[in-house]
Structure 1
């Protein structure tokens, strides 16, 4: 395992994106446990992209403009839906007090969908992992899987740290309605901006 790989993975994961925004929102709205569950869901969403890369499906996605566009538009639609749902639900970032909490399963599914419907992740793995694997290496496939596993671990740890930090200040923030209104708008705007960025992405 090279230091270059770990540093690159850390930079890529720590850069704010859809997963980070979702995990922060979970931490602010439902606390530490929810943020860790959200981080786990986002990490699970990486698995199909990793498998697509190591099985060669990424090459097909890279070659097929239609396949890429279909997945891209599905991702954009989901991000816009998430933005709309965040704006609509005024209790989305409220501290729960006697209300029915969002289930862990639902939190995980949302996290999986956020990363699953992001074709750039497959493109990233397709371009990223081979740089750290010798094409002539007899165990190239297991090595790529191992590197992907490390990337997923880094993703989970970084996202969980983001979420736990957000959860640590949630009561001070969520007790102020005006702050919560702007935070809700900010998260919704972030999802819309990320959707617009994905919409303009090419292969």
Structure 2
């Protein structure tokens, strides 16, 4: 049975702004509500490998191997820096512009999924988050972790979709000012770069 404590914990974790939220907001502001749903879906999909890793015990291997951890980590750092550049570059994937047309849902979702896939801390996070809420029965542990992970993913999609809808609603007021768009592009780039720096300092 899914406890209220788990639901509250998951809600707080998902609600806290992070890289996925930032990406979804940028897509919602730059391209509208439909594309922001693709971003929310991609971020949610990117959780699957980490949930599987935690369920199968691979997260413990990643945690124990500094080499494997660093490979994934620095790939994630490079990707976040690339997203920062895409926010600053005129015509970039994340740059805000009133004339910009929406990209394909697949391309938006693929970028979003990579944001989570290339974050090695997520596997270790699930390995730490889920076990305290299990029944303690080894025979059903994998199934219980899968169910809890599924609930976490559903909550992620719902909350991220809400973030995207809010950004899309604000789009009509914000994109009318070049000064505001320029400020937002620089802000998104700065935050992505800061997140890349924070990830670079993470240890297994």
State the TM-score bracket (shorter-chain normalisation).
Answer: over 0.9
- Partner in structure 2 of residue 95 of structure 1: 98
Pairing 1:30-109 to 2, within 5 Å after superposition: 30-90=31-91, 92-96=95-99, 100-109=101-110
Contact 1:95 1:171 in 2 (8 A): no
SS of the equivalent of 2:60 reads helix
- Partner in structure 1 of residue 201 of structure 2: 200
- Aligned-partner Cα distance in 2 for 1:109–1:95: 23
Q: Extract structure 1 runs of 4+ deviating beyond 3 A.
A: none
How far the C-alpha of 1:106 sits from its partner, in A, is 0.3
Give structure 2 stretches of 5+ with no counterpart: none
How far the C-alpha of 1:137 sits from its partner, in A, is 4.2
Aligned-CA RMSD value:
1.2
Give structure 1 stretches of 5+ with no counterpart: none
Go from structure 1 to structure 2 and tell me whether the alpha carbon gap of 1:115 and 1:152 turns closer, same or farther (over 3 Å shift): same
- Aligned-partner Cα distance in 1 for 2:127–2:18: 19
How far the C-alpha of 1:100 sits from its partner, in A, is 4.7
How far the C-alpha of 1:90 sits from its partner, in A, is 5.0
SS of the equivalent of 2:130 reads helix
SS of the equivalent of 1:139 reads helix
- Aligned-partner Cα distance in 2 for 1:197–1:165: 27
How far the C-alpha of 1:135 sits from its partner, in A, is 3.4
Contact 2:31 2:101 in 1 (8 A): no
Number of corresponding residues:
201
TM-score (norm 2): 0.95
- Partner in structure 1 of residue 156 of structure 2: 155
